[in-house]
Structure 1
Amino acid sequence: MDENTCKLLVKLAQEGQLSSLEKLISLGGSAEVQTVGSKHFGRSGDTLLHYAARKGHLDIMEYLITRIGTDVEVYNNDYKRPLHEAASMSHQACVSYLLREGAKVDSLKKADWTPLMMACTRRNLGVIRELLCHGADPALKNKDGWNSFHIACREGDPLVVQHLLVVAPDVWRAESKTRRTPLHTAAMHGCEEVVRILLERCGYAPGCTDSCGVTPFMDAVRNGHISVARLLLEKHQEGHTSTIKTLLELGADLHVRDKKGRTALHMACIGQHADTARTLLQLGLKDSEDACGTTAMQHARKPDVVRVFECGLPDPS
């Protein structure tokens, strides 16, 4: 099979031109038919089935599997199966077909990502439901310790998050290899509605920290998500009034420091978030030195952040 023929095969598969693809393959004779189904193309090592699944061409997928004999579990150089491709691009009909043809629902690609994890990056509830109905395990972790729920919380679709909690009520308990929870992930990415769901339906302890001593509140502050930070202060307190004092009075989350001695105010200034820094000062968090003797104010670079410390708000004491 020459280079031009290979390029044309890939083009036809990507464009969904089934009749032309059939004709080109048949011109090569029986030997061509036997080899084309398992042939890997380009640096990625994709097969024609990978290209068809990625583009959502169900008719070409059916042709390749039933007529050409392509293995439904064929994988490329990253160990991605056609199911990974279809799930990651939200092609529900293709996902359903591959599963009916025997594709393994929890197959692993490079870095241990499952099709369900890939689907959660696209926020397509239909595809996610299809995978779960065929036994996909949302608790499986990739090489970094993330499960599908971590990924869904990062993307911020409340319906997906709620559905995963219904199917697997304990899935929220997962921590990554650096002890980051789905709550950390949602807070870091400013997914306010997801944070609200997690606080209402899951049992996260106030002030839970990752391996670097960072709390979800600090994540929200550092990334300028002030509404999420306020929600963490207000709602997290409400769910634990029987075991802790009011967070706003005690300042448990407000004054927490990471392993480098940095407060939420340090994080806000490192990220150059003026509104966040102003709110923290108004809530009573005073500037102070971290473990290296650096104050939050010394991290201020943008003029509006510098002005926060020049407007007569509380200063270090």
Structure 2
Amino acid sequence: MKMDHDLLSAIQRSDLHWLEANASQLSADWRKFVHSKSGDSALHVAASAGCTQVLGWLLSQGCDCCLEQQNADGKRPLHCAVQASHLPIVKILLDHGATIDPLKRADWTPLMLACTKRNLQVIRHLIENGANLRLENKDGWTSFHLACREGDKEIVNYLLDVDGSVWNNVTKNGRTPLHTAAMHGKEVIIGILLSRGNYSTDETDACGNTPLLEALRMGHKNIAELLIMEHNASVYAKDKTGRMGIHVAAEAGQEEVVTFLLGSHGVDVNLLSETGLSAMHSAAKEGHTALVEMLAEQGCKVNTQDENGRTALWLACSARRTACVKALLKLGAQDIGDNNGILPSQLMPF
């Protein structure tokens, strides 16, 4: 055990002198030298450390038997080298026969990890050596989805140059790369996807969310405007619960986005979802007091009841949103019972 620790420590600090001095004590079977917690082999540690001299020495001593060895997370040495963005190490491992698309836990390939690190050189080398851009992890994410999430325009354009139809993919929950970029506020990537892809307007994921709804929920007004103006996205598109953009934005407390929808795109402040929810309901339920007050100033009715007879006050009391309850009462909210006769004041006395 001590030799395991000393060996791995020497590799981690790139101490080639120690390795050469103790070479006679090392077993011929390198696979037995494994970190007790991480499961890293000597080659994993060297790949992460990034010292080409140490890596070369290990491979010359027969450590290539660990090329496909997995650690506790299912990573092979190539995963570690890519995650650390060590291009020279990646090249050495591939030159010695490392598999190009091994899967770690959750089915992540080295190329997927490279896309999260935004290292174009590593990505390019992996693809030039046969990495499969179309492979999906357990959630259905491809390397291209990940690149769109990270938002590096050079990488996204490069991947589209390699495979012009790679944009046409959905995850297990139905999200396209356009959904992903919209959710994460990557305006430049949205522009690239709209110009180089062929997405359907208001394409929905498994929950009925459009890219515009994702952008509104996250407060990305610039993305919302781009999708509306360049992609003809509808501010009235509904998710599977029948909510539209103003309801989604109000629930998330995105006051600036709600104002944008009301002012720039003429959305009715009293617009109701399919279940009778107004923006006031959505904001009150989550305790967004300032937004509730702003909606009232814009003419949103305080005592509107949804299909269950619940008012904004009822929802605020149910969720124990004390500050919001006080604000609603000042705005004229009444103690109206729902369809079962339950009063807001019974849920939270005021």
TM-score computed with the length of structure 2 as normaliser: 0.80
* CA distance in 2 between partners of 1:304 and 1:62 (Å): 62
Which residue, out of 183, 194, 202, partners 1:199?
194
Partner of residue 166 from structure 2, selected from 165, 171, 196: 171
- The answer on whether the counterparts of 2:33 and 2:41 sit within 8 Å (CA) in structure 1 is yes
Q: How many angstroms apart in 1 are the aligned matches of 2:150 and 2:42?
A: 30
Following TM superposition, by how much is the alpha carbon of 1:80 offset from its aligned partner in structure 2, in angstroms? 1.0
Quote how far apart the aligned CAs of 1:312 are: 2.4
In the other structure, the counterpart of 1:111 is 106
Per the alignment, residue 297 of structure 1 pairs with: 280
Tell which structure's C-alpha radius of gyration is larger: 2
**Which residue of 2 is the match for residue 231 of structure 1?**
226
Measure, in 2, the Cα distance between the counterparts of 1:80 and 1:112: 10
Q: Alpha-carbon deviation of 1:13? A: 1.4
The answer to whether structure 1 residue 275 and structure 2 residue 248 are counterparts is no
SS in 2 for 1:43: coil
SS in 1 for 2:260: helix
**Pair 258,23 (structure 1): closer, same or farther in 2 beyond 3 Å:** same
Mapped to 2, the partners of 1:58 and 1:182 lie a distance apart of 36
Please, which moves more after superposition, 127-136 or 49-58? Answer: 49-58
Report the Cα distance in structure 2 between the residues aligned to 1:196 and 1:314, rounded to whole angstroms: 35
SS in 1 for 2:55: helix
- The code of the aligned residue for 2:135 comes to L
2:48 to 33, 38, 54: 54
1:238-277 equivalent positions in 2, closer than 5 A: 253-277=234-258
Q: State the secondary structure of the residue aligned to 1:33.
A: coil
- Distance in 1 (alpha carbons) for counterparts of 2:16 and 2:217: 51
Structure 1 residue 77: Cα displacement: 2.5
Change (3 A) 1:313 1:136: farther
How far residue 37 of structure 1 moved from its aligned partner, in angstroms, is 4.6
Q: Tell me which of 273, 278, 284 is aligned to 2:266.
A: 284
Higher RCO structure, 1 or 2 (CA under 8 Å, sep 6+) = 1
Pairing of 1:40-79 with structure 2 (within 5 A): 40-71=34-65, 72-79=67-74
Please tell me the residue identity of whatever aligns with 2:294: V
1:111/1:142 contact within 8 Å kept = yes
How far the C-alpha of 1:65 sits from its partner, in A, is 1.6
Contact kept in structure 1, 2:203 and 2:211, CA below 8 Å: yes
Instruction: Quote the residue 1:218 is aligned against.
Output: 213
Task: Tell me the residue number matched to 2:10.
Answer: 12
Cα distance in 2, alignment partners of residues 201 and 112 from structure 1: 28
TM-score (norm 1): 0.88
C-alpha deviations, 1:22-70, integer Å up to 9, x for none?
32343x2xxx331345422122211011111112122221111221333
Deviates more, 1:69-78 or 1:157-166: 69-78
Secondary structure of 2:27's match?
Answer: helix
Moved more, 53-62 or 128-137: 53-62
1:124-163 alignment runs, 5 A limit: 124-163=119-158
Q: Is the 8 A contact 1:139 1:148 kept in 2?
A: yes
C-alpha distance in 2 between matches for 1:117 and 1:75: 17
Identity across the alignment (%): 40
Cα distance in 1 between the residues matched to 2:45 and 2:147: 26
Provide Cα deviations, 1:85-121, integer angstroms capped at 9, x if missing partner.
1111211111111111111111111111111001000
Deviations 1:136-182 (A, max 9, x none): 11111111111100000000000000000000111110111111100
Cα distance in 1, alignment partners of residues 133 and 259 from structure 2: 40
Aligned-residue CA RMSD in angstroms?
1.9
SS for the counterpart of 1:173 is: coil
Q: Are 2:184 and 1:189 equivalent residues in the alignment? A: yes
C-alpha contact (below 8 Å) 1:156/1:193 kept by paired residues = yes
What amino acid maps onto 2:267 in structure 1?
A: L
Q: Give ranges in structure 1 of 5+ residues lacking alignment.
A: 238-246, 248-252
Aligned with 1:311 (options 288, 292, 297): 297
Aligned CA distance change for structure 1 residues 313 and 139 (closer, same or farther; 3 Å)? farther
Letter in 2 for 1:113: W
Q: Which runs of 5+ in 2 are unaligned?
A: 305-350
